[in-house]
Amino acid sequence: MENHSKVRFENSYNSLPETFFKRVKPEKMPNVGLFLVNQKLSEKLNLDYSWLIKRDGIQFLSGQNLIKDSKPIALAYAGHQFGSFVPQLGDGRAILLGEVKDKKGNLKDIHLKGSGKTPFSRSGDGRATLGPVLREYIISEYMNSINIPTTRSLAAITTGEKVIREKILPGAILVRTASSHIRVGTFQYFAARQMTKEIKILSDYIIKRNFQSSLSSKNIYESFLMEIIKSQADLISKWMSVGFIHGVMNTDNTCLSGETIDYGPCAFMDAFDYNKVFSSIDYQGRYSYKNQPNVMLWNLTRFAETLLPLLDKNIDKSIKKAEEMLGEFATLYESSWISNMGRKLGIDTPKITDKNLIEEFLNLMQSNELDFNNSFYYLSFLVGNDKNEIETSSNNQKILSTIQSSDWYIKWKTRLNINKKNSQKILKILLINNPSIVPRNHIVEKVLNDAINENKKDTLNDFLNALNEPYKIRIFDDPYTKPPLPNEEVNQTFCGT
């Protein structure tokens, strides 16, 4: 066990009863190497970047050499997967190395995915492959760049192993960070076993770690539930505002810290479609774009059920309290959604009455199969951006002509009341709320293929750098902003990590 003075691990989750986890060490890998490391994130976590990229740092990141005070564990949890309850899932191929304090003094988990078998592995091999690891790295870091709460990627490590999936693939480990890895499914694990004492211990732990404002409330657990409902309503509204489809919103993939977690079959829409699904196994469309708010409410209901013994000694009163709080989800979500979507239309202070205008624009995109991201971003060209660009661009004219010839366009201009005095203000609102770039599926796949199979890491780094500037003004013909041609479309994604 190595002692590195720049890494100070804490083990607060490890101090909970051993029913919460299993003690396990990462498996030894034949030849670990550093594929990517996130310098900016390492600095925020008070980690020595110059050390991380050296051999000892790589051995630490991969779990091959454990730092002093690291007490690695695999977390126990259950979960509803596509609506069916599985009483024990747990970290089957993931290990929590420990927690570090970031520059703001907040605890952050250092978590490995693909580090080998654990007691929760069932029939799995405990491994991950490089493609899905890099995919999660790309998309989670993009989500952070557009201010959507998310787990983050600290590093992608190659293991020197060959992993068998449909074919033989290079093995990898994702080094992930989060405010915590406690999920709805963590609470379900204990509720399924009627372990009320453990539910209280878990609640007290996460309240102290992530929801300290609830400690001053008259009913701490009521406040806690309400804070969870609020944060999840806000998170989903943000997903919806950028056309993001998570793809596998199981209760074990609902992180109670309010962060997006587990980037498996996720993707961003190209042509807008309310019913869009990317997951290769979501045959019924349970986790389609339009269903995400309803699924989150369903997940929150499962969470509230686990808290009933803590809300009130009288079970009927507990149920009533939970139902009242869950009943606020729709209003909280709609308010946040209108606020986010209204600003994407250039409206400074969106109102409830703007809901119709927002929905009409989405319907316009749906009926004309317009690109989601570009339709919003191109509104800036109709308010005061470079008019010459509109006239000379050979691509994406369909979006502009469809919008400008619609009845919606007249209503939108009337709502904004565009004139010389306020057009620059509207333009500013549009540009700071509409990214010019998203990690489009077909580009992600090409970048991954180039990086893994053609050894073109520069292509990957260029893409990551572009995604790190999501609000940069980009021309119509920027290759990163172009929707896929029919032969380039990638309509299915898989649970790879």
Residue extents of the structural domains in the chain: 13-181, 185-336
Rounded Cα distance between 118 and 245, Å, is 30
Give residue 40's pLDDT.
97
Question: What does pLDDT average to over the chain?
Answer: 93
**Residue 147: pLDDT above 60?**
yes
**Residue 370: pLDDT above 70?**
yes
**Residue 207: pLDDT above 60?**
yes
pLDDT in tens, 18-32: 999 999 999 999 899
Question: How sure is the predictor about 419, in pLDDT bands with cuts at 50, 70 and 90?
Answer: low
Query: Is residue 348 annotated as part of the catalytic site, yes or no?
Result: no
Residues 379-393 have a mean pLDDT of 62
Task: For the chain, give percent helix, strand, coil, nearest 5.
Answer: 45, 15, 40
Q: Please, which contacts does 150-153 make with residues 24 or more away whose CB atoms are closer than 8 Å?
A: 150/259, 150/260, 150/261, 151/176, 151/177, 151/178, 151/255, 151/259, 151/260, 151/261, 152/38, 152/41, 152/176, 152/177, 152/178, 153/36, 153/38, 153/41, 153/177
Question: How sure is the predictor about 1, in pLDDT bands with cuts at 50, 70 and 90?
Answer: low
Give residue 290's pLDDT.
97
pLDDT in tens, 30-45: 899 999 999 999 999 9
Q: Which of 91, 109, 234, 252 is catalytic?
A: 252
**Residue 493: pLDDT above 70?**
yes
* Short-list 381, 363, 371, CA closest to 442: 371
**Residue 174: pLDDT above 70?**
yes
**Residue 358: pLDDT above 70?**
yes
Say which range, 46-60, 292-306, 482-496, has the weakest mean pLDDT: 482-496
Give residue 123's pLDDT.
84
**Residue 178: pLDDT above 60?**
yes
Question: How sure is the predictor about 485, in pLDDT bands with cuts at 50, 70 and 90?
Answer: confident
